[in-house]
Chains A and B, each alone.
Chain A
Amino acid sequence: MSRLKRASFWLGLYTALVVAFLIYLPILLLIIFSFNDSKIMSLPWNGFTLRWYKIAFSREDLLHALFNSLWVAAVVTVFSLILGVMAANGMAKYRYKGRSLFTGYIAIPVVMPWLLLGISLLLFFNLIKLPLSLFTVILSHISFDVPLVAVIVAARLHQFDPSLEEAARDLGASALETFRLVTLPIIAPAVIAAGIFAFSWSFDAFVVTHFVIGSQVTFPIWVWSALRFAKNLPVINAISSLIVVVEILIVYVGERLRRGEGEGILF
C-alpha cells in the first residue's frame, strides 16, 4: 500500500508540474507583465501600472476589431445553434439507415485542419465572385461551428429517453409543443454550453478568418498584425489578459452546464 501511495504522490506531483509549467506559466506571465511599467515583456519589474490598459481602451482600431468580433460571433452562434441542434437530432434522435454515415458527414469537419477549410473557402468565394467581407467570415465560421454544436448536443441526446416525447405526443402535444416543452428543457444545458463554445470558437477564430476576411479586421486578425510591431506588445498583453480572464469565466460556466450532473467529458 505504501508503494502505491508513493507512486500516487510522484504522479500527482508530475501532473501538477506539467499543468503549471506547460499549460499555465505563459498565461500567468502574460497577465503579470501586463501590469509591468516597461515597454518590453521581460524582467526587471519596473513597478505596477494600468497604463497599458488605458492605452488599449483608447485604440480605435482595437475597439473596432473587438466590436466586429463580438457581432460576428453573435450572428454565427445563432445560426450554428439552429443548424447544429438539427444535425444533433439527425445524429442521435432518429433510428434510420445511414445514421452513422450522417454522423461522419457532420463530424469530419471537426478534425479537418482549419488551414484547409480557409483556403478552400477562399477558392470557393473567389469562384462564385462573392467579395470577401465580414459576411464571408460569418458563412465560414458557421461551417466549423455547426459540427461542434452538433457533437456536444448529440452527446446529450444519446442519454435522452425517446419515450418522453412519445408520451407528450400521445397526450396531444404538437411536434413544436413537444420540442418546446419536453425536449428543449432536457437538452437546454447542452445547447447553452454549445452556444458558449460556438461563440468562443468564432470569437477566437484566426486561421479560417485569415483567408476569408479580405480587408476587414476582427480581434484575432488585429492581434496577428499588431504582433509585428514591438510598440504594440504591451497593449496586446493588456487586452489579452483582460480577454483571458473573461474567457476563463465564460468557459467555466459553459463546462458546468455542458457536463450537467457529473456527465462524461467529450473534449
Chain B
Amino acid sequence: MTAAAIPYRYERWRRTIQQYAGLVLNVFPPFVYLLLLFYAPMALLFIMSFWKSGFMHLEPAFTLENYRAFLSNPTYLRILWNTFVIVTGVMIVLVLVGYPIAYFLARMVRRYDTLVIYLLIIPVEINYLIRIYAWKIVLGRSGIINMALMYLGLIDEPLRFLLYSRTAVMIVLIHEWLPYVVIPVYVALKGVPPEIVEAARDLGAGRWDVFRYIYLPLSVPGLFASFVLVYIPMLGEFAIPSIVGGPSGYMLGNVIESQFLAAGNWGLGSAIGFILLFVTLVLVALVIKISGIEELM
C-alpha cells in the first residue's frame, strides 16, 4: 500500500512542478519582451515629457514647459478639438452605417454572410498607404466623383471640398475602420441563442420588441469591442490627414509627427503624445470596467 503511494505522490508533485514550470516558461519571455519594448518605452514617454527639449533630443530635467507650450497655444488646442470632433463624428457614422450591415448579415441571411465578412476583412490587410492614396482617384479634382457629376450635368465646376479637406479625412477613416465595427457587432448578434427570440415571440413580442429588448442589449459587448478597436487607434491618426487632409483636416497625430521628425521639439511631441496616451488609458480602463476584459476577447 505505502509502496504504491510513494511513487503516486511523487508523480503528483512532479506534475504540479512541471505545470508550474511550463506556465513560467510560457509567460516569462513574452512578458519580458513587452516590458522592455512596449511598456518601458511608454513609461519613458511619460517621464521624458517632463524633460528639457533640445533639438532632436532631450535632457534630463523636470519642467512643465512642454505641457505649457501645448496648452497655451490656441492653434494646438484647436487641432485637439478638431481631432476630437473628427474622431467622434466618424465613430457615430460608423455605428450608424455599420450596425444595419451587421444586423443584416447576422440575422437576415442564411448563406452568404461569411462571404461578405471575407470581403470586409480582405481590404483591411491591403497596404494602408496604398488605400489612402487610392481615394485620391475617387475624390480628386478630376476624380471619379467629379467626373461623374460633371458628366451628368449636375455641376459645372469640380467640387473642391472632396479632397484635401476634413470631409476627405472622414471618408477615408470610415473606409479604413468600417470592418472593425461591423465584425464585432456581427459576432455578438450571431451569438444570440434562437431560443430566447422564440420565447419572446411566444410571449407576444413584436419584431421591434425583439430588437429593442434582445438584440440591442446583447450587441452592446460587440459595440464596446468596436469602440476600443476603432475610436482609440483613430485618435493617433496622421497618415490619412497628411495624404488627403489639407489644412482643415489636420489632426493631433500630425502635430506629434512633425514635432518628432521635422520640428525636432521632442519635449513638446512627448507631452502631446502623453496626453494622447492618458486619454487612451482612461478609455480602455473605462471600457474594461464596464464590460470586463474577457468579454472583449
A binding-site residues for B, Cβ under 8 Å: 4, 7-8, 11-12, 14-15, 18-19, 22-27, 29-30, 33, 40-43, 82-84, 86-87, 89-90, 93-94, 96, 100, 102-117, 119-124, 126-127, 139-140, 142-143, 146-147, 150-151, 154-155, 169, 175, 197, 200, 203-204, 206-207, 210-211, 219-220, 223-224, 227, 236, 240, 243-244, 247-248, 250-252, 255, 262, 264-267
Tell me the complex Cα distance, A120–B178, Å. Answer: 28
Tell me the complex Cα distance, A127–B58, Å. Answer: 9
Tell me the complex Cα distance, A100–B296, Å. Answer: 12
Shortest C-beta distance, A97 to chain B (Å), equals 11
Question: Are B30 and A251 in contact, with the CB atoms below 8 A?
Answer: no
- Interface contacts beyond A250-B125, A264-B187: sample of 8 additional A-B pairs, CB < 8 Å, sorted by A: A19-B116, A26-B138, A30-B133, A104-B288, A104-B293, A112-B233, A116-B280, A206-B129
User: B75 interface residue, CB < 8 Å from A?
Assistant: no
Shortest C-beta distance, B149 to chain A (Å), equals 13
Partner of A26, one of B135, B174, B261: B135
Question: Are B133 and A140 in contact, with the CB atoms below 8 A?
Answer: no
Partner of A146, one of B30, B125, B126, B174: B30
Question: Are B178 and A23 in contact, with the CB atoms below 8 A?
Answer: yes
Question: Are B137 and A94 in contact, with the CB atoms below 8 A?
Answer: no
How does the 8 Å CB contact mask read for B133-149 relative to A, with 1 for contact and 0 for none? Answer: 11111101011100100
Question: Are B297 and A122 in contact, with the CB atoms below 8 A?
Answer: no
Tell me the complex Cα distance, A192–B111, Å. Answer: 27
B92-144 interface with A by 8 A CB criterion: 97, 100-101, 103-105, 108-109, 114, 116-131, 133-138, 140, 142-144
Question: Are A27 and B125 in contact, with the CB atoms below 8 A?
Answer: no
Shortest C-beta distance, A81 to chain B (Å), equals 11
Tell me the complex Cα distance, A203–B151, Å. Answer: 40
Tell me the complex Cα distance, A37–B120, Å. Answer: 31
Residues of B within 8 Å of A114, CB to CB, are 233, 236
**Chain A contact surface mostly:** helix
Question: Are B238 and A240 in contact, with the CB atoms below 8 A?
Answer: no
B binding-site residues for A, Cβ under 8 Å: 15, 18-19, 22-23, 25-27, 29-31, 33-34, 37-38, 40-42, 44-45, 48, 57-58, 97, 100-101, 103-105, 108-109, 114, 116-131, 133-138, 140, 142-144, 147, 174-175, 178-180, 183, 186-187, 207, 228-229, 232-233, 235-239, 243, 253, 256-257, 260-261, 266, 269-270, 273, 276-277, 280, 284, 288, 293-294, 296-297
Partner of A116, one of B125, B186, B236: B236
Evaluate whether A267 and B137 lie within 8 angstroms (CB atoms) in the complex, with A127-B44, A248-B122 already known: no
Residue of B nearest to A205 (CB): B128
Residues of B within 8 Å of A155, CB to CB, are 297
Q: What are the nearest 6 A-B pairs in CB distance? A: A113-B236, A26-B134, A120-B41, A115-B236, A87-B30, A124-B41
Evaluate whether A25 and B138 lie within 8 angstroms (CB atoms) in the complex, with A116-B42, A224-B129, A265-B187 already known: yes
Residues of A within 8 Å of B237, CB to CB, are 113, 115
Residue of A nearest to B186 (CB): A265
Question: Are B29 and A86 in contact, with the CB atoms below 8 A?
Answer: yes
Shortest C-beta distance, A147 to chain B (Å), equals 8
Shortest C-beta distance, A28 to chain B (Å), equals 9
Question: Are B134 and A30 in contact, with the CB atoms below 8 A?
Answer: yes
Question: Are B143 and A42 in contact, with the CB atoms below 8 A?
Answer: yes
Partner of B280, one of A40, A106, A113: A113
Question: Are B137 and A41 in contact, with the CB atoms below 8 A?
Answer: yes
Tell me the complex Cα distance, A100–B135, Å. Answer: 41
Question: Are A43 and B122 in contact, with the CB atoms below 8 A?
Answer: no
Residues of B within 8 Å of A14, CB to CB, are 100-101, 104
Residue of B nearest to A84 (CB): B30
Residues of A within 8 Å of B116, CB to CB, are 15, 19
Question: Are A29 and B144 in contact, with the CB atoms below 8 A?
Answer: yes
Partner of B180, one of A96, A154, A267: A267
Partner of A220, one of B22, B127, B179: B127
Residues of A within 8 Å of B296, CB to CB, are 107
Partner of B174, one of A22, A40, A255: A22
Tell me the complex Cα distance, A111–B284, Å. Answer: 9
Tell me the complex Cα distance, A265–B118, Å. Answer: 10
